[in-house]
Chains A and B, each alone.
Chain A
Amino acid sequence: MSAGRIIVVDDQPKIRRFMRTTLVAEGYEVGEAKTGEEALERIRELRPDLVVLDMNMPGMGGLAACRAIRKDSDIAIIMLTVRNSEEDKVAALDAGADDFVTKPFNTPELMARIRAALRRVPSAQSSPKKIRVGEIVIDFGERTVSRENVSTHLTPKELDLLRYLTQHANEVLSHRELLQAVWGPDYGDQVDYLRVFVKNLRKKMEPNPEHPQYITTEPWVGYRLKGTVESL
């Protein structure tokens, strides 16, 4: 049984070949695409669990491809960037990537990131499928959040983050705790990730994202979800 299905999108044939060999050795099924356009097609055909997406490609480019994938799919996306700059990181996460790795990468680290992206926060057996926090309804089965009858889709990492926050409602959660719970034990210092994902969550559920009433920032510490959680 395969550990998961992965599509590698990179315009450099050598990098694709290397990734394929390495990923197959790790037990994944691997598909390839040379461009963003081809990646979209491949994703429709193969329904992968994860996409490793190069940021700089001819044609539509990595960021546009990432946004296009995110528009109608929840699959995990790891972006490969060339520059290790704040700008690129935020751009990648903003475009909907779950994580990013800077080239040149360390192979074991990339594998760890892939495992982390594929892993999901396990929902406790007793945890309800649908809950209400204030005026917000979160449907973990449907992966949606609704406010005033407008429902918005959540990406897997957004959903994981929100699930962890609701499971610990009204507690102050540190950046490190959140990162390790949602991304995995290898994480802890990537505060940027949280900033982008919390910003996206706020956009989807807060009446006024500039002055959040549900997900509040605890300066220098982390975040807190305010409100009473009721199961529906």
Chain B
Amino acid sequence: MLRRRPVRVLVSLSGVAVVTYVAYRLIPVNATTVGFAYLLLILIVASIWGFLEAAWSSILATLVFNFFFLPPVGTFTIADPQNWVALSSFLATSLIASRLSAKARARATEAIERQRDLERLYTFSRAMLLSDKGAPFAKQLVEKLAESFDLEGIVLYERHTGEFHCVGLSGPEGMEDELRHAALPGGASMDARHPYVIVGVSRGSEPVASMALRGATMQQSVLQAVANLVAIGLEQARAQDLAQQVEAARQSEQLRTTLIDAMAHEFKTPLTLIKAATTSLLANPDVPAESRKEQLTIADEEAEHLRELIDDAIEMARLDTARIEIHPEMANLHDTLQDVLASMQTEIDEHPVRITCQGTLPAMAFDKRLMKLAIRQLLDNALKYTPGETPVEMAAQVRDGLMTVEVTDYGQGIPAAEQLRIFERFYRSPSVKHQIPGSGLGLSITHGIVRAHNGELTLSSQPGRTTFRITLPVLRQEVS
């Protein structure tokens, strides 16, 4: 209620009446004391509410002072000319004092407002920096802005996307054209259209957006600062988007080239053999039956090998390691290992490969197809990175609710520095990169598959012995 000026004036005047009543009726005092009491009241009014209230109080106080306390009492006439001086001094003093005190108050209020604006700007800039990467930035920006400055509503128009982002409003409310105009070169000016303030947002001399703010009480300079912050935020978000796009493009380009490289290398061996066998047969139709059969067998086997490689490559390219979906089914781990072994006879070649299973392995639930792919990758690596006749061991066991599969080779080992990065997508050891074909996808995919099963893929390696270990919790509830 005290917010309204007439009420405050009334209250101030009542204050004067109360002082008069007390001094005249309750505690009779002399005129000087009453004068000081009025002065004190006026100072208080001035410092709390301002000059106008104090001025009205001063005039009333002068009148009642004259009427009740200056002889002849009970009239507005003044007998003694000295009292004229006293009365005018009182009026002048009270007016000047209230003016000064009101000014001081206004300054203090302004300082507090400035500080509040600064705090809000700071809150807003901090909120902008801490924006959630997942949600659209402009939307977050207007929400944070409305929150920080207690605004009733905001419309933000982004020039490069042509989108309107609203908060606290159902839509741009017919301000589309004005906002578009404000976001044009030369159109960026501050414009008040009650109840909105429209402001252009530009980076340097280039307009990037415009805003309409509803319920904005901030000063021009603060508004400009907000506009600058918004410009910076939008620009930063755009740069981030761009960087993300570039990164995504780079990743997909890398995937493409590594797959092509891997294909070029891995596919060429079977292809070479098929081509060599068929061209040889075509050139010499008269070769003995035995030799002919051998060459046809080579072509046939290698065509099969090629088919497997292509299936694998398609699978690898399709699997997004971040989102692998598993479809567990009941399977026997030992059989799975045997299947893997059988499918890799070509790669195994001269390597002695041994499977050891501790105890009998119960049937368990896991995604058979993906787990085979994962184990194949580990075995393939063990074979690929170790010399011809080096043995490779595979071991499986189930104990304490955990199933483990280990693939151990006796090659030169993996340097400690590389062990940290080996599960990264596309990472390939610099020491073998140019000699042994590979895509840098195998281990990252294996890792992804194992994680999708809530398991762990670990590695222990020293010169002469490297073991990759898959550990999975046994899903007992699936056992039927």
Select from chain A the residue with minimum beta-carbon distance to B281: A107
Give the shortest distance, in Å, between A95 (CB) and chain B (any CB). Answer: 14
* Bitwise interface map of A from 47 to 82 toward B, beta carbon under 8 Å scored 1, else 0: 000000000111101000000000000000000001
B280 contacts A14, C-beta separation under 8 Å: no
In angstroms, Cα B365 to Cα A178, docked, is: 69
Complexed CA–CA distance, A24 and B264 (Å): 29
From A58, A83, A103, A110, contact of B435 by CB (8 A) = A58
Chain A residues, CB < 8 A from B114: none
Q: If the complex has contacts A12-B269, A103-B268, are A108 and B432 also in contact, measured as CB distance less than 8 A?
A: no
State how many angstroms separate the Cβ of B250 from the closest Cβ of chain A.
23
Is A125 interfacial (CB 8 A cutoff)? Answer: no
Q: Within 8 Å of chain A (Cβ to Cβ): is B100?
A: no
Question: How many Å lie between the Cα of A128 and that of B376 in the bound state?
Answer: 64
Contacting residues of chain B (256-280) with chain A, CB-CB under 8 angstroms: 264-265, 268-269, 271-277, 279-280
Complex Cα gap A83–B280 (Å)? 22
Asked whether A58 and B280 contact (CB < 8 A) given A15-B272, A83-B264, A103-B268, the answer is: no
Q: How far is the CB of A111 from chain B (nearest CB, A)?
A: 8
Q: Is the CB of B265 within 8 A of A82?
A: yes
Complex Cα gap A169–B302 (Å): 52
Interface membership of chain A positions 13-26, coded 1 if the CB is closer than 8 angstroms to chain B and 0 otherwise: 11100100110010
Please state if A82 and B291 are interface contacts (CB–CB under 8 Å). Answer: no
- Scan A137-162; emit 1 where CB is below 8 A from any B CB, else 0: 00000000000000000000000000
Q: Residue of B at shortest CB range from A64?
A: B435
With both chains docked as a complex, state the minimum distance between the C-beta of B439 and any C-beta of chain A, in angstroms: 15
The answer to whether B435 touches A105 (Cβ under 8 A) is: no
Determine which of A35, A59, A104 lies in contact with B276 in the assembled complex, contact meaning CB atoms within 8 Å. Answer: A104
With contacts A14-B269, A104-B271, A108-B279 taken as known, whether A34 is within 8 angstroms of B298 at the C-beta atoms is no
Query: Smallest CB–CB gap between A153 and chain B, Å?
Result: 29
Complex interface: chain B residues within 8 A of A104 (CB)? 268, 271-276
Shortest distance from the beta carbon of A84 to any chain B beta carbon, whole Å: 10
Given contacts A25-B291, A34-B387, A82-B264, contact A15 B435 (CB under 8 A): no
In this complex, what residue of B is CB-closest to A106? B279
Which residues of chain B have C-beta atoms less than 8 A from A56's C-beta?
Answer: 265, 435, 437
Does B349 reach chain A (CB closer than 8 Å)? yes
Q: Which B residues touch A22, using CB under 8 A?
A: 276, 280
B294 at the interface (CB under 8 A from A): yes
B425 to chain A, nearest CB (A): 23
A127, B476: Cα distance in complex, Å: 88
Q: Chain B 79-119, CB within 8 Å of chain A: the 1/0 string?
A: 00000000000000000000000000000000000000000
Shortest Cβ distance from A108 into chain B, in angstroms?
4
Which listed residue, A14, A34, A109, A110, touches B346 by the CB 8 Å rule? A14
B289 at the interface (CB under 8 A from A): no
User: Which of B269, B283, B298, B432 meets A58, CB within 8 Å?
Assistant: B432
Instruction: Decide yes or no: A61 and B280 within 8 Å by CB, A14-B298, A15-B269, A25-B291 being known contacts.
Output: no
Point out which of A34, A56, A110 has the most chain B C-beta atoms below 10 A from its C-beta. Answer: A56
Indicate if the CB atoms of A18 and B388 lie closer than 8 Å: no
**What separation, in Å, do the CA atoms of A13 and B348 have in the docked complex?**
10
Asked whether B355 is an interface residue with its Cβ less than 8 Å from the other chain, the reply is no
Known: A104-B275, A104-B276. A58 touches B387 (CB 8 A): yes
- Which residues of chain B come closer than 8 Å to A110, judged between CB atoms? 276
Inter-chain CA distance A104–B274, complex, in Å, is 8
Residue in chain A with minimal CB distance to B388: A34
Query: Counting CB contacts under 8 A, is B434 at the interface?
Result: yes
What's the nearest-Cβ distance from chain A to residue B413, in Å? 15
Is B317 located at the chain interface by the 8 A CB criterion?
no
Question: B388 contacts A13, CB within 8 Å?
Answer: yes
CA distance A41 to B84 in the complex (A): 130
Given A14-B298, A103-B268, A107-B283, CB of A57 within 8 Å of CB of B435: yes
CB distance from B283 to the nearest CB of A (A): 4
Q: Are A107 and B436 in contact (CB under 8 A)?
A: no
B253 within 8 A of A: no
How near does chain A come to B350, taking the closest CB pair, in angstroms?
A: 6
Kindly state the separation between the CA atoms of A183 and B409 in the bound complex, as whole angstroms: 45
Chain B 147-180 interface 0/1 with A at a Cβ cutoff of 8 Å (1 = within): 0000000000000000000000000000000000
Q: Mark B10-30, 1 if CB is under 8 A from A, else 0.
A: 000000000000000000000
B354-388 interface with A by 8 A CB criterion? 385, 387-388
CA distance A59 to B265 in the complex (A): 16
CB neighbours (8 Å) of A57 from chain B are: 435
A11–B279 Cα gap in the complex (Å)?
22
Find the B residue at minimum CB distance from A11: B388
**In whole angstroms, how far apart are the Cα atoms of A106 and B272 in the complex?**
9
The reply to whether A105 and B273 contact each other, CB–CB distance below 8 Å, is no
A107-B280 contact in complex given A13-B388, A14-B298, A56-B437, C-beta closer than 8 Å: yes
CB-based contact A105/B276 at 8 Å: yes
- Which A residues lie within 8 Å of B294 (CB)? 21
Chain A residues with CB under 8 Å of B388's CB are 11, 13, 34
Min CB–CB distance B431 → chain A (angstroms): 10
Greatest chain A CB density within 10 A among B276, B291, B349, B436 is at B276
**Residue of B264, B272, B287, B388 ringed by the most chain A CB atoms within 10 A:** B272
23 contacts between A and B (CB under 8 A): A14-B302, A14-B346, A18-B298, A21-B291, A22-B280, A25-B291, A34-B387, A34-B388, A35-B387, A56-B435, A58-B387, A61-B434, A83-B264, A103-B269, A103-B272, A104-B268, A104-B275, A104-B276, A106-B275, A106-B279, A107-B283, A108-B279, A110-B276
- Footprint of B on A, CB under 8 Å? 11-15, 18, 21-22, 25, 34-35, 56-59, 61, 82-83, 103-110
Q: Given A15-B276, A109-B279, list of 11 further CB < 8 A pairs?
A: A14-B273, A18-B276, A21-B291, A25-B291, A35-B387, A58-B385, A82-B264, A103-B268, A103-B272, A107-B279, A107-B280
